Amino acid sequence: MKASVASVATALTVGASTVLGAATNMNMKRDSDITPITVKGNAFFKGDDRFYIRGVDYQPGGSSDLADPIADAEGCKRDIKNFKDLGLNTIRVYSVDNSEDHDECMNALAEAGIYLVLDVNTPKYSLNRAEPKQSYNDVYLQYIFATVEKFAKYDNTLAFFSGNEVINDGPSSKAAPYVKAVTRDMRTFLRARKLREVPVGYSAADVDTNRLEMAEYMNCGTEDERSDFFAFNDYSWCDPSSFTTSGWDQKVKNFTSYGLPLFLSEYGCNTNTRKFEEVEALYSEKMTGVYSGGLVYEYTEAGNKYGLVKISGDNVKTLDDYDALKKAFDKTDNPSGDGKYNSTGGASGCPVKNAPNWDVDTDALPAMPSPAKKYLTEGAGKGEGFSGKGSQNAGTASSGTASPGSGSVASATAGGSASSSTSSEGAAANLKPMQMTFAPVAVGAVTVLSTLFGAGFLFL
């Protein structure tokens, strides 16, 4: 972290805005009795108790049928029965229609003690890898801010993902500044609107070339630029395996001093018969000092052999993988106490350019597009939903490079842009790109094509 009088002043300003935001939220009517999840050091907490994510990725319909499972109240309540049977406390949803109502499902999930981790992007409203500067614009930010505004009111919204698997090799690391800028903007929006400060972070691909660099990058710089957590999709444990054979021991070692909560946003290799033997390791003290659990890919079978259940109309059939996961969860308790977490947390140093593995020239981020700044004071307004025209070729792009601390509420809502005249550079994409790994590509296929070919491309 850069140490200067200015950065100290920024930290004090951010701290003051946090206190004011918390005071405002205390006067707001709660939608349920569920306890919101908070971040302390490198762990999540539910009140005073350590919270471990025990969840699944939930996107009925898969990539070929873009649907909002949280807007489908009956389907949601139908599936909650299985969520409870499995012993889950969290689901991840990859896309929601922000023009729809979600109260019934979110309240039903809360009553069941289940939290939501939400990706804010859709195929038409996401960063375009081919045109990152153009697609990082005010129309895009309005859409994701509308999603954030809609879901921050629910106490069981655990976290927001600003992107998923944008960086999947060395050259694509040029996308990092835009991913980090979106994360910064979402956190600034929550604070400026005095909404509950739902943790915001990134879901990364598990690539050896720059996995650690991306984690460090999302946790370096001034406080306003840093993520609240970091997650990655990990399919390196393929049964039969072990803590050491899978390489998970080395990942724990590499992240031991990491200052943010870390969890698996997807896991569950299906190369062989899945017994979910990794569950026992993931929730043991040899990992919980670094990891806060994870999300199994995925609840619904979509032709990729990763599903726990098969849905046909209103009929839900549990599969062998469902039984295997239930057995693994049933016999695995969370550690007692705090799981040996790092209570102090703290920032990382920004990684140094090391092309081609880490091809980021500067720590500076793109400035928020000027027309989007009004949403910080006026609110995002209505979301366009799945039927919207899209944002990738619309709106006003960023016109400069942000100054450190520009994401603080005081700076972001001031009249100036808090940016230099140097053009922003980098490349970006959002959600899951193609991978040559064992990881599933079904959910990400729509996003891949929208990222590569623009918003107009959809599966038929």
- What is the set of active-site residues? 165, 266
Say how far apart CA 50 and CA 335 lie, in whole Å: 9
176-192 vs 5-26: helix axis angle to the nearest 10? 50
Cα→Cα distances 172→127, 202, 356, 357, 452, Å: 13, 15, 9, 9, 13
Own/partner contacts of 308-312, CB < 8 Å, gap of 24 or more, are 308/56, 308/82, 308/86, 309/82, 311/60
Say how far apart CA 311 and CA 299 lie, in whole Å: 10
Structure tokens at 47: 């009140």
* DSSP label of 411: H
Cα→Cα distances 110→16, 59, 81, 155, 300, Å: 30, 18, 13, 8, 21
Closest CA to 431 of 92, 74, 35, 70: 92
3-state secondary structure of 216: helix
Say how far apart CA 282 and CA 292 lie, in whole Å: 8
Q: Contact 72/104 with Cβ under 8 angstroms?
A: no
Q: Contact 66/95 with Cβ under 8 angstroms?
A: yes
Element (H, E) at 322: helix 320-330
Phi, psi of 45 (to 5 degrees): -135, 145
Cα→Cα distances 231→45, 143, 253, Å: 16, 23, 16
Closest CA to 166 of 372, 405, 429, 438: 429
DSSP 145-200: HHHHHHHTTSTTEEEEEEEES---SSGGGGGHHHHHHHHHHHHHHHHHTT-----E
Q: Contact 25/266 with Cβ under 8 angstroms?
A: no
Element (H, E) at 38: strand 37-40
Cα→Cα distances 139→127, 134, 149, 267, 454, Å: 11, 11, 15, 33, 15
Structure tokens at 352: 């140094």
Residue type, 128: N
